[in-house]
């Protein structure tokens, strides 16, 4: 198949290809029986209050072992992102500043993540390329690029750009469910997912990355963009701390009407994308007040509500399935029992 045909096949068969990719890592631990790959130090025994997770900044991280591979690219293209931009661009496709995950320990008394500067295409150029390689020949006995990357949970092998995957659940027992439209997104098109989900990125330019190193601030923007359909292009003079929506969510947390916890993290076996798994639990009145105008369709797909009852809809992205199962397991600590 030509490159474009393989790309189309990848987008149409991510669920099946994900199962094939999962079988390539028989010795790697999974999250709660899902396909999401993990390490023991990435999975706390119980939900961690988000404010307990400390973030450290490394402004000059070492270069990854594998970066911007040209394996399988059409002639004339240097990176996978270059080929996508020209031959198969999704609706949302920008090389924005992003945080690179360098180290993670979530099972200690002081859970912490170490991050450094990067950009969106640096992660895509490896992650989508290894998925493309598998899609080109799902029965191949050798996958040279995937073999060069090696351990999918080794953060030094490639540029790992964490996404924040959030189960948004109400105390009455429903959560927000997303179907990701493959015509609109790069990652996990055609699959269900919890929401909001977004790559951990700073607000504004790369030079401001260190000053915006905050999981919660990124999550607030994703709540507005994904659940309310707001624009993700913020004005240069945008002051998030003065934003009424941010202030309302902060007040809800301070008053106990909203709790936010970290559940762990893991790696998608197909694309090697890493997700920090979180859960946001809203009192019903607070959720209705903030999201009464929740969209039915956003820039990345279709938005619905589902029962939080321990089940996982299919087909679902591994990170979403893992987050749902961890939230269900921890429902007592989250006061959802």
Domains along the chain with CATH numbers: 3-329 (3.90.79.10)
| Residue-level pLDDT at 54 | 98
How far does the chain reach from its first CA to its final CA, in angstroms? 51
* Residue 258 near residue 286, CB atoms below 8 Å: yes
Taking only the tens place, the pLDDT of each residue in 159-211 is 999 999 999 999 999 999 998 887 776 656 788 999 999 999 998 765 555 67
- Mean per-residue pLDDT, 38-47: 98
Percentage, residues of the chain above pLDDT 90: 87
* Residue 260 near residue 282, CB atoms below 8 Å: no
Please give the model's pTM, rounded to 2 decimal places: 0.95
b/e 64-101 (16+ beta carbons within 10 angstroms → b) = bebebbebebeeebebbbbbbeeebebeebeeebbbbb
Taking only the tens place, the pLDDT of each residue in 97-143 is 999 999 999 999 999 999 999 999 999 999 999 999 999 999 999 99
Taking only the tens place, the pLDDT of each residue in 294-329 is 999 988 889 999 999 999 999 999 999 999 999 999
- Neighbour-count burial of 212, counting CB atoms closer than 10 A to its CB (0-12 exposed, 13-18 middle, 19+ buried): middle
| Residue-level pLDDT at 205 | 62
Structure tokens at 252: 């809800």
Separation of alpha carbons 9 and 233, rounded Å:
31
Q: Which of 107, 333, 318, 315 is nearest to 197 (CA)?
A: 318
Sheet of strand 54-57: strand arrangement: 54-57, 112-119, 97-105
User: CA dist 310 to 163, 175, 313, 315, Å?
Assistant: 23, 11, 10, 15
Percentage, residues of the chain above pLDDT 70: 97
Taking only the tens place, the pLDDT of each residue in 147-158 is 999 999 999 999
Taking only the tens place, the pLDDT of each residue in 230-248 is 988 888 889 999 999 999 9
- Average pLDDT across the chain, whole number: 94
* Residue 226 near residue 166, CB atoms below 8 Å: no
| Residue-level pLDDT at 231 | 86
Q: What values do phi and psi take at 226, rounded to 5?
A: -85, -40
Helix (H, G, I), strand (E, B) or coil at 262: strand
């Amino acid at each position: 198949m030509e490159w474009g045909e393989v790309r189309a096949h990848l987008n149409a068969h991510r669920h099946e290809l994900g199962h094939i990719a999962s079988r390539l890592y028989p010795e790697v631990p999974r999250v709660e029986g899902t396909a999401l790959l993990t390490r023991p130090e990435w999975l706390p025994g119980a939900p961690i209050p988000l404010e307990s997770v400390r973030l450290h900044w490394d402004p000059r991280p070492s270069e990854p072992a594998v970066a911007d591979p040209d394996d399988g690219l059409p002639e004339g293209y240097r990176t996978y992102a270059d080929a996508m931009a020209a031959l198969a661009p999704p609706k949302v496709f920008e090389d924005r500043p992003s945080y690179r995950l360098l180290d993670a320990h979530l099972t200690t008394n002081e859970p912490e993540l170490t991050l450094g500067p990067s950009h969106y295409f640096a992660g895509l150029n490896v992650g989508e390329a290894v998925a493309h390689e598998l899609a080109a020949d799902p029965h191949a006995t050798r996958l040279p690029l995937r073999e060069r990357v090696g351990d999918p949970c080794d953060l030094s092998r490639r540029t790992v750009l964490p996404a924040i995957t959030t189960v948004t659940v109400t105390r009455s027992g429903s959560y927000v469910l997303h179907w990701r439209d493959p015509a609109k997104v790069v990652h996990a098109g055609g699959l269900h997912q919890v929401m909001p989900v977004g790559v951990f990125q700073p607000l504004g330019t790369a030079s401001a990355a260190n000053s915006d190193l905050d999981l919660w601030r990124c999550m607030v923007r994703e709540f507005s963009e994904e659940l309310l359909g707001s624009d993700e292009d913020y004005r240069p003079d945008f002051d998030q701390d003065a934003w009424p929506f941010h202030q309302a969510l902060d007040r809800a947390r301070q008053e106990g009407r909203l709790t936010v916890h970290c559940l762990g993290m893991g790696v998608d076996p197909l694309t090697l994308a890493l997700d920090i798994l979180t859960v946001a639990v809203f009192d019903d009145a607070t959720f209705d007040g903030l999201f009464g105008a929740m969209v039915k369709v956003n820039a990345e797909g279709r938005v619905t509500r589902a029962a939080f009852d321990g089940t996982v809809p299919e087909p679902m992205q591994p990170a979403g399935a893992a987050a749902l199962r961890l939230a269900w397991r921890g429902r007592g600590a989250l006061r959802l029992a």
